């Protein structure tokens, strides 16, 4: 996520949460800046689902559960980066607030897409500004693969990986792809950012490019694809990703751009669907998200928009259509011997039985005649 400050919100958001009046003003400004709430039709979607009972694993730089808008929402998992030095948790906290932010008062603070969901924090990468990023692989030795498996084995229903644009990898790995398939096989929905170099290199980005992962691009307030959003043929959908207000550290907010934010919002929509349809497969959750889009490309798909711009309400409606009970198959009946006679053979069998009865009658008559002769 590119960390920027929009002038209209600058005065309110650069102040940390301190005195009650400053906190109130900043919290109200943060809520007012969440333009994506209306675009995604979240107030209407929340009448059906708020993500209760769902765990969303945030595989990122760590999540600071002390932020007022995340109080009670964060489950702390392991740090798989191999280091505890340097800045910690800014990016991960930002993403968690978009997924499961709960606000901290009447109309104040950030509300996530799935405010009743839980967030499982698994640290798999370092902050962009951390000097150690230049000295080691971005995710260490198989940190992402280990993080995916840990998340699934510890109850994650959805896995959010906002690792695009430098935090992710331009080359995949066998261990990561195997972990992705393991997670999907266990019923987890995986979401990842498409990357932030669409206006320069537009490189293939992992984990977004792994089969089965919902890859997300970014759009602006006018639902136009952001210049930085990577355009690839594996893109699934697009979501708001410019001028997005997020939690910052333990006590403030920041406004930023990036496909990271877009992916976190889609992970929240996946949580809404899983809460409403707990047994729905990752494949059908993805279909619901893709079918429940607006601004769909004329031919149904494009490398810039994917299947269109996500919409939480429409995705939930699509999930309702897709979650059709399987047809009831009668239990097999066990027969002794050769089983029942197929209907197509009944006339033949009936004829054979009639012939057998007639022959038996003839034998009986002949026996009686022979008895008379002997007598």
**Which residue numbers are catalytic?**
60, 91, 260
CA 201 – CA 218 distance, rounded (Å): 16
Q: Sheet of 244-248: strands edge to edge?
A: 2-4, 252-257, 244-248
CB proximity list for 56: less than 8 A, separation 6 or greater: 99, 100, 114, 117, 118, 119, 120, 156, 157, 158, 159, 160, 267, 268, 270, 271
Q: Which residue has the tokens 């979607």?
A: 45
């Amino acid at each position: 996520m590119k960390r920027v400050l929009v002038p209209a919100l600058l005065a309110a958001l650069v102040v940390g949460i301190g005195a009650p009046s400053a906190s109130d003003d900043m919290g109200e400004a943060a809520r007012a800046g969440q333009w994506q709430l209306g675009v995604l039709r979240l107030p209407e979607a929340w009448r059906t689902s708020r993500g209760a009972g769902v765990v969303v694993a945030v595989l990122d730089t760590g999540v600071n559960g002390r932020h007022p808008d995340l109080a009670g929402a964060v489950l702390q998992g392991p740090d798989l980066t191999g280091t505890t030095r340097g800045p910690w948790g800014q990016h991960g906290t930002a993403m968690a607030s978009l997924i499961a932010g709960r606000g901290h008062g009447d109309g104040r603070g950030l509300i996530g897409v799935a405010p009743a969901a839980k967030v499982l924090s698994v640290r798999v990468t370092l902050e962009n500004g951390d000097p150690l990023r230049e000295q080691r692989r971005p995710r260490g030795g198989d940190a992402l693969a280990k993080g995916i498996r840990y998340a699934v084995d510890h109850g994650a229903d959805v896995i959010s990986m906002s690792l695009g644009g430098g935090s992710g990898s331009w080359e995949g790995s066998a261990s990561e792809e195997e972990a992705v398939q393991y997670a999907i096989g266990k019923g987890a929905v995986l979401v990842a950012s498409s990357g932030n170099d669409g206006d320069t290199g537009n490189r293939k980005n992992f984990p977004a490019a792994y089969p089965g992962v919902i890859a997300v691009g970014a759009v602006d307030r006018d639902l136009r694809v952001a210049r930085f959003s990577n355009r690839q043929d594996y893109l699934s959908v697009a979501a708001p990703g410019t001028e997005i207000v997020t939690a910052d550290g333990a006590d403030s907010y920041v406004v930023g751009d990036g496909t990271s934010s877009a992916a976190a919002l889609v992970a929240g929509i996946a949580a809404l669907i899983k809460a409403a349809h707990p047994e729905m497969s990752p494949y059908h959750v993805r279909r619901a998200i893709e079918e429940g889009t607006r601004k769909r490309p004329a031919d149904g798909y494009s490398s810039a928009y994917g299947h269109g711009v996500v919409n939480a309400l429409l995705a939930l409606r699509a999930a309702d259509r897709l979650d059709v009970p399987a047809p009831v198959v009668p239990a097999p009946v066990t027969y002794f011997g050769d089983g029942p006679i197929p209907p197509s053979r009944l006339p033949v069998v009936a004829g054979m039985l009639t012939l057998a009865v007639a022959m038996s009658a003839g034998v009986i008559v002949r026996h009686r005649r022979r008895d008379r002769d002997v007598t």
